[in-house]
Amino acid sequence: MEIWWLMLFMVMIVPVLMIVSGLMMKKKFSIDTQMKYGCRTELSRQNADTWRFANVYCGKHCIIDGIILLVICLTAHIVAKNRPVTTLLISDIIMILGQTMFFIGAVLGTDDALKKRFYDDGSPRNKED
């Protein structure tokens, strides 16, 4: 039973960190010129406007994805509670890999949104484009 609690903790780390980091990025993103933490892509670091947009956008998606992952993973982990340990471990590994894909998807989605809103040099696109 102790392994169940340990694996529950391990499965909940990524969704909780996504929610917390999403709240930090959305509300209190770094404004300094070094841009030490936040959604760091090449285009997001072009200027303050791209940095602000990327962090708010990625923060919003991290919060939503984190809540979805929290519900899915908690439910799946509770359903697998009375299964053999190997089944529990395999399902948790699959969940952790899925969480990683959600996180990568949030960053890639932010980069796509940046490319639609800004040119490569960081200047905003016109509405007519």
* Closest by CA position to 120, among listed 111, 128, 110: 111
Is 81 a member of any domain?
yes
| Per-residue pLDDT at 34 | 62
Is 83 a member of any domain?
yes
Q: For the chain, how many structural domains are there in total? A: 1
Is 32 a member of any domain?
no
DSSP string, 38-102: S---TTTTSSHHHHHHHHHHHHHHHHHHHHHHHHHHHHHHHHTTTS-HHHHHHHHHHHHHHHHHH
Is 22 a member of any domain?
yes
Is 122 a member of any domain?
no
Here the tokens at position 95 are 């969940």
Is 126 a member of any domain?
no
Is 113 a member of any domain?
yes
Tens of each residue's pLDDT in the chain, 129 residues: 688 888 899 999 999 999 998 898 887 766 665 666 777 777 887 888 888 888 889 899 999 999 999 999 999 888 888 888 888 889 889 999 999 998 889 889 989 999 999 988 888 887 655
Range of the domain at 72: 2-27+44-117
Is 125 a member of any domain?
no
| Per-residue pLDDT at 63 | 93
